[in-house]
Amino acid sequence: ASQMAAILETLYNQQTKYLETDYEKLFGLLRTRVTQRSLIILFTNFESLTGLQRHLPYLRSIARNHLVLVVFFENTELRQLTTAPINDIESLYIKTIAEKFSYEKRLIVKELQQHGIFTILTAPENLTVNTVNKYLELKARQAI
> According to the model, what pLDDT value does residue 24 have?
93
Task: Output the CA torsion 36→44→115→130 (10° steps).
Answer: 80
> According to the model, what pLDDT value does residue 78 have?
85
Q: What is the pLDDT along the chain (144 residues), one digit of tens a residue?
A: 788 888 888 888 888 777 778 899 999 999 999 999 999 999 988 888 998 999 999 999 999 999 999 998 888 888 888 888 888 999 899 999 999 999 999 999 999 999 999 999 999 899 989 999 999 999 999 887
**Rounded-to-integer distance, Cα 70 and Cα 109, Å:** 9
Q: What is the bridge-based pairing of β-strands 118-122 and 67-73?
A: parallel
**Rounded-to-integer distance, Cα 54 and Cα 52, Å:** 5
pTM above 0.85, yes or no: no
The values of phi and psi at residue 117, to 5°, are: -105, 120
**Rounded-to-integer distance, Cα 5 and Cα 8, Å:** 5
